[in-house]
Structure 1
Amino acid sequence: MASPAPATVDELGLRGCLYLWALLTGQEYRLPIAQTKRMTLVAMGYLQERGVIEVPWPEARWELKPDARITPIEGLQWHLSWAVYEPERLVDALDDYFNSLERDDFTTAERLRLWTELGSAEAERFFEQQLLKHRFSGEWAQDIAFAYRESGVVLTVAQWRYCAWAAVRRGASMAMQHGPQVDGLRDTIYQEIRRRATSVASGTWDGCSFPPF
């Protein structure tokens, strides 16, 4: 059940404001809400729980809701239910909030958490691209989130992208030798990500990174 809607953008907080800004901006400029559909669902679920938006879940779509919006890339329905601000002023209110943030320890810690999540999502997006390129299941891409969390190493986004690329190449080589349905293929790719991450973090392989841009 959704909690009472926040009374201001300050009550919505940095995470909620960022998610809402991404949703509104993506809607206006035909952009993905987040790097992956999975993260988009997390962001929309967060806003729904706080009474900012409505979503049709667990149903896939509303049958009768003429004012529902649909995210341009992901095709997910939603409706803005937060009436605290005029819809046409909402993005401005969010921008004002971002500009007013203090550079204190709490805000810095929250920014770091958000950047960590965004970095993980960017690595997952790249991993999915590589999997699909080699005709593996895109659903395997979520495995990198486990590697990201459980490896206990600190890498840049570019280094995680390298690990994903190398792991998929390892899987492609295995599939060529034993066939695409060989047992253990997914786990081999996952373990290769973790192995590469450990080696890159230790400095064994210097310069192994694929910058996003």
Structure 2
Amino acid sequence: MNAAKYPIIHVDAPELGSIEALGGRGALYLLALAQSHNQGRRLAPTRDATASVLLVLSALGVVHTDTTATSNVTYGGDGLHWSYSWAAEPYAGLEERLSDYLATHGRHARFAETWLRVWRELFPPEVTSYLRYHLRAHGFDTRHEKLLEPILAAHAGSFAIGHWRYACWASVRSMASKALQHPGDEDLLNKTLILELPRRLRLAFNAPGDNLCFSPSYSMSPYTLSTALATVATDLGDEVWKSVPNIERLR
């Protein structure tokens, strides 16, 4: 469907009059969605993360999420339907207008707390997706990823996304080694992941430079939500993956 010709769907939500009325998070989320659709890239690493973005935009009244014959489907296999529903801002040229707004007003200090929260919120889906990718690549059941949540919570705010990426990669390789020695021992695989992730995180954090900090340049391709934060709303760039989130970097 031609992105500039989406039907306007009237929903029971307040009509916002301008991009400024979206607030920082709303503008960032809508930009990420527009980029995902226009560029054929995935919006967020997991289905839940994509659904959360659509939920916020639906509450703002700028997208409609019911399934219709003319609705769009999110990229990456999530299968989430959406249609553009904001009469005040035509879809044609929306990506450029949002980018201009965020690249100027979005870098004001008043948005720093918002961007810090979004930066921190990237961790669970980014890390879960990366671990899932390597579990599948080694032929392991993705149910092992359930072990990640308490480890993420216990180490929140201590490591960069790139450190987590290295730790996931190295830990799954250790699991693969154990699987060769003890085929079919699921308990051993679980214990290996639980022990290796924290150990590898500390190793990555203490390594010189960023030798054990995996960034998108030699890792998985980033998603539009991550890149919109890193390159449009802020000037963080690769620091989104290489640095521990901190407010001073955003002021």
- Fold shared per TM-score above 0.5: yes
- The one of 74, 94, 97 equivalent to 1:71 is 74
AA matched with 2:36: G
Counterpart residue number, 1:30: 40
CA contact (8 A) 2:166 2:204 kept: no
AA matched with 1:194: P
The alpha-carbon deviation at position 13 of structure 1 amounts to 1.6
Percent identity reads 28
Render the CA deviation track for 1:161-186: whole Å, top value 9, x for unaligned. 11111111222233333334523633
The gaps in structure 2 that reach 5 residues or longer are 1-11, 218-251
Coordinate RMSD, CA, aligned: 2.8
TM-score computed with the length of structure 2 as normaliser: 0.68
Counterpart residue number, 1:133: 137
CA contact (8 A) 2:71 2:83 kept: yes
Counterpart residue number, 2:247: none
TM-score computed with the length of structure 1 as normaliser: 0.79
Change (3 A) 1:193 1:177: same
Q: What is the alpha-carbon distance in structure 2 between the residues aligned to residue 134 and residue 179 of structure 1?
A: 13
AA matched with 2:21: E
CA contact (8 A) 2:19 2:27 kept: yes
Counterpart residue number, 1:177: 181
Q: What is the alpha-carbon distance in structure 2 between the residues aligned to residue 94 and residue 196 of structure 1?
A: 39
- The one of 95, 99, 102 equivalent to 1:95 is 99
Q: Is 2:46 the counterpart of 1:42?
A: no
Matches within 5 A, 1:41-60: 41-56=51-66
Change (3 A) 1:66 1:169: same
Q: What is the alpha-carbon distance in structure 1 between the residues aligned to residue 53 and residue 146 of structure 2?
A: 16
Could you say which structure has the greater relative contact order, defined with CA pairs below 8 angstroms and 6 or more residues apart?
Answer: 2
AA matched with 2:53: A
Change (3 A) 1:8 1:146: farther
For the residue of structure 1 that corresponds to 2:213, the secondary structure is coil
- The one of 77, 81, 84 equivalent to 2:88 is 84
CA contact (8 A) 1:153 1:197 kept: no
AA matched with 2:119: W
- The one of 18, 30, 34 equivalent to 1:8 is 18
Q: What is the alpha-carbon distance in structure 1 between the residues aligned to residue 186 and residue 144 of structure 2?
A: 15
- The one of 191, 196, 199 equivalent to 2:200 is 196
Q: Is 2:132 the counterpart of 1:122?
A: no
Change (3 A) 1:128 1:117: same
Q: How many residues align?
A: 204
